[in-house]
Structure 1
Amino acid sequence: MATSEQEAHSAYDELETRIKRIANIGNATGILYWDQQTKMPEEGTPARAKQLSALQSITHELLTEERTGELLDELESEELDDEQSAVVREIRRQYDRAIDVPSDLVTEITETSSEAQPAWQEAKAEDEFETFEPYLDRLRELQIERAEHIDPDKDPYEVMFEDGEPYLQLSTVERIFDELRDGLVPLIEDIQENGADIADDAFSGTYDTDTQEEVARAALDTLDYDWSRGRLDTAPHPFMSGTQFDARVTTRYNENDPIGSLTATIHEFGHASYQLGLRDDEYGTPLGDSRSSGIHESQSRFWENHVGRTRAFWELFLPTFKEHFPQAEGVTVDEAYEAVNQVFTDNTIRVEADELTYHMHIILRSEIEQEFVGGELDVEEIPTRWNELMDDYLGVVPETDSEGCLQDIHWTSRFGGFQNYTVGSVFAAQLWATIEEEIDEPMERIREGDFAPIREWLTENIHEQGCLYTTDELIEEATGEPLTADYFLEYVEEKYSDIYDLD
């Protein structure tokens, strides 16, 4: 007769086998999404929408099968070790959020999302928001319906936020937003009114895109990107897709902005570094998966800002840049550093924003999302509302919707995710402060191109932890304290006061 311990072990193995199958289907879905954004023929959308919806439906059905619930119930009364308990906790959360959502709703959301992506691309290319309107409005209806199935007693927008950030309270993020408004707005105004002139035109001119790709690849080489487990492609909106065995980076090029493609590449490298740092032996389980959207963004913002925008990095990389672009031969390290850190008070594009105004872009999007999902804003009113908030927060109004409310692809797939870019920036600064205490002269290591100690610290303290901890637990385990905006505000105050020679 089997003992209770043997039965628990058998149940855990069965649950793990089940969740690995689900994860593999999800990862196959990710490859189809990557292909849709990078390689798929223009007319491939009808078939791709059906393919993605079929895979999502299978995933939903497997997750919500009666046997999954039975295994979870059985295991929650057993004594498990910390890792097993974490796996059961994460699968229980997925199960509970899926069990009351009808399969046909999952299918419709996936198909509508897939169809919305080419509609967004067309609307952006033609500067016609009306092309995207019906898809966006329908996605709102579907996502609200889904949220109400998950938790009818909770604000639908909060349910949507929890999709990407399950254990960090929306109220915590909103408090951090308030602190950032209080700290960043006066700093931005001080730069506008009293900041010294800097070398903001150091990289002006035309830079051909083929050579920009060579520079992007050189940057990835410098950062020790593992090409045996990744690749670089272009996409309308840069993203990373993959697993610990295959983490693919995308970027985009603008012949008048070589720095934009470079920082986007480094940003996506940060995402890839996280994926590649996950445990190989736990592939397919929550222990081999990333913790959350906000933690993921902390890795991309860390590499983009705390590495790629430092003077030390440009001491290292500027000679390589000049090898590819002789027209930059006269640019000094200080000029390059100032150019990549200039504050764009007249910029309308989020992904081209600096570290300060970037968060005004995020706050704007989050407010519009909440108004739209909450029914306070109709879909056709979004362009006008967008321009109003751009004027209020940044003092600039986009000339077109393509440069305004159509610039991001995110609304084709979800709502409630923009906050995590700011969560990531805040946590990245908190991580850097900890690394400065625990690694000997990390800035000097960047200057020398020795990224291994920094990457290994992040891998040990963030990547390899997978979903062992909840988000708030992971932040405290890694840095010794809860998430706080203090380090970010101290970091930008010191950095930009120095760059702009503020009193």
Structure 2
Amino acid sequence: MATDATGDADSAPDAYAELLQKYKRVANVQNAAGLLSWDQQVMMPEEGTPARSQQLSTLSSLSHELLTEDEVGELLDELESTDLTEEQAAVVREIRRKYDRATSVPTDLVEEISTTSSEALPAWKEAKAEDDFSKFAPYLEKHVELKREYAEHIDPDRDAYEVLFEDFEPCLPLEQAESILEELRDTLVPMIEQIRESDAELATDAFSSKGTYDEGTQEELCRDVLSMLGYPWERGRLDVAPHPFSSGTTFDARVTTRFDEADPLGAVTSTIHEFGHANYSLGLPDEEYATPLGESRDLSVHESQSRLWENHVGRSEPFWTLFLPEFKERFEQAEDVTAREAYEAANQVYEDNLIRVEADELTYHLHIIVRFEIERALVAGELDVEDVPEAWNDKYEEYLGVRPETDAEGCLQDIHWSHGNFGYFPTYSLGSVMAAQLFDAAEDDIDDLDEQIEAGEFETLREWLIENVHRHGSKYETNELVVEATGEEFAADDFVAYVTEKYGDLYELD
């Protein structure tokens, strides 16, 4: 059994123990900032932004200062020649990576980025509500300028976007990520074309033809599904946010969702998705809180957890066999829907969807490619901010065959750029690919997984994920973690096989 971050009290070097204590202060400041950010998006009064902006800016600069103290660097240097356990060496590696990156960036720039993010969030909300990109454009332009400067401080000799990508996925080379994305594009584009030409008749309107679904009752239903999956309410909560997200730690992992009276499936799948994120945070070892061994392994792995629960569980036929009676108890208008029809409705491939978070499992990745290409062009200076709406609309027409009529349903739909998060979007598709590989490995280890899902027994799957992914925290780098969990190198093969079989059956493809 692996030792914890502290290791044996008698054998842990003094420098290591001191380094760990310093890092815990950094982690706790960052976790406090995360809670304030959650509050800003969920519960903060509308006019609270000026104070919240200063609070988050202060915490951002404080965590930066704590991490970049000279003594932290001295301790890291001392530990390079010290005999450490495997776990201790992983902790030092992770802190070293963060330290080297942080010491490259001036504190005033970190503070300015945080301030811009806090000010950009309400501007984005207003711009989206009023369908007016010009109200958000100045903040986006400022973020682009600041993030170029940020990347130049870290490594002026490399592509700025590659440097920014490492903020979210430091352990996967961008070249590997791009290769996987290309394989997805090459697989999905012809498959989606085949599906749109298919004569198969799916029950796509199984729920949408039944009238409207009360939002309050949808919230009750989402609480039902969270309880069914095993969400520990004593360590979490469900709230509403304009852009669903989860936030927290192993002791407090919160979920948000949103509701549409015409689309109850959207709230259900969104809630299951965010459960996956929260379940990962909750599965990290309690005793490693505020150390790298108690932190998730970056965004691709985090997204693999949400996509695994959303797509491989929540969109499966066994799940709908289980959950449909619960759904009908809340919404009597769906009393004549069968489990197969619910499964087909949950897995339809849309012809005209504009919204990423409402996209089906296949076209979703084309939504990601649009964002990836636009933000790369922005950071490279190949696209001006003022031209983003037109570029966005052109790419949607080219890749998805539909053109947004408003900025609200176009380039303003996502929250990420209000935070200056350039390089984030590729991790969504990488996570979907990883989810397929992990679920395939879980199916190999759990003989009757489908039967357990249909019976509402999710504990075995949760325990498998804890054992093979969660408990390691950041001990392994991404590719190592995938090999550790599945015995195979990280690749798109299992995802391609999964979607080929699933959608081949649904749409009667050759």
Interval of TM-score (by shorter of Structure 1 and Structure 2): over 0.9
Contact 1:8–1:78, Cα closer than 8 Å, also in 2: no
Partner SS state of residue 16, structure 2: helix
Q: Which structure 1 residue ranges, 4+ long, deviate > 4 Å from structure 2? A: 5-8
Count of matched residue pairs: 499
**Residue 25 (structure 1) aligned with residue 29 (structure 2):** yes
**Residue 277 (structure 1) aligned with residue 286 (structure 2):** no
Amino acid aligned to 1:139: H
**CA displacement at 1:195 relative to structure 2:** 4.0
Change (3 A) 1:10 1:129: same
Report what 2:337 is aligned to.
331
**Residue 441 (structure 1) aligned with residue 445 (structure 2):** no
Aligned ranges for residues 121-140 of structure 1 at < 5 Å? 121-140=125-144
Amino acid aligned to 1:173: A
Report what 1:264 is aligned to.
270
Report what 1:502 is aligned to.
509
Aligned ranges for residues 422-501 of structure 1 at < 5 Å? 422-501=429-508
Of 135, 142, 145 in structure 2, the residue corresponding to residue 141 of structure 1 is 145
Partner SS state of residue 77, structure 1: coil
Contact 2:181–2:430, Cα closer than 8 Å, also in 1: no
Contact 1:83–1:468, Cα closer than 8 Å, also in 2: yes
Find the aligned partners of 1:212 and 1:349 in 2 and give their Cα distance: 20
Amino acid aligned to 1:330: D
Find the aligned partners of 2:11 and 2:450 in 1 and give their Cα distance: 52
Report what 2:236 is aligned to.
230
Partner SS state of residue 248, structure 2: strand
Farther-moved stretch of structure 1 (36-45 vs 189-198)? 189-198
Partner SS state of residue 290, structure 1: coil
Report what 2:3 is aligned to.
none
Q: Deviations over 1:104-151 (max 9, x none)?
A: 111100000011000000000000000000000000100111111111
Report what 1:119 is aligned to.
123
**CA displacement at 1:100 relative to structure 2:** 1.9
Of 50, 53, 57 in structure 1, the residue corresponding to residue 54 of structure 2 is 50
Amino acid aligned to 2:461: I
**CA displacement at 1:270 relative to structure 2:** 0.1
Find the aligned partners of 1:324 and 1:129 in 2 and give their Cα distance: 39
**CA displacement at 1:502 relative to structure 2:** 1.9
**Residue 246 (structure 1) aligned with residue 262 (structure 2):** no
Find the aligned partners of 2:97 and 2:350 in 1 and give their Cα distance: 41
Find the aligned partners of 2:364 and 2:445 in 1 and give their Cα distance: 29
Partner SS state of residue 89, structure 2: helix
Report what 1:102 is aligned to.
106
Find the aligned partners of 1:276 and 1:406 in 2 and give their Cα distance: 31
Find the aligned partners of 1:326 and 1:179 in 2 and give their Cα distance: 43
Partner SS state of residue 392, structure 2: helix
Change (3 A) 1:418 1:124: same
Find the aligned partners of 2:11 and 2:88 in 1 and give their Cα distance: 14
Amino acid aligned to 1:171: E
Report what 2:204 is aligned to.
200
Contact 1:195–1:502, Cα closer than 8 Å, also in 2: no
**Residue 80 (structure 1) aligned with residue 87 (structure 2):** no
TM-score (norm 2): 0.97
Q: Deviations over 1:169-219 (max 9, x none)?
A: 111111111111111111100010124111111111200100000000000
Find the aligned partners of 2:106 and 2:449 in 1 and give their Cα distance: 50
Percentage of identical aligned residues: 64
Structure 2: 5+ residue runs without aligned partners? Answer: 1-8
Farther-moved stretch of structure 1 (431-440 vs 316-325)? 431-440
Find the aligned partners of 1:483 and 1:467 in 2 and give their Cα distance: 17
**CA displacement at 1:293 relative to structure 2:** 0.3
Alignment RMSD:
1.0
Amino acid aligned to 1:332: T
Q: Deviations over 1:327-351 (max 9, x none)?
A: 1111111110000000012100000
Amino acid aligned to 1:15: L
Amino acid aligned to 2:107: S
Find the aligned partners of 2:11 and 2:335 in 1 and give their Cα distance: 69
Q: Deviations over 1:369-394 (max 9, x none)?
A: 10011000000100000011101111
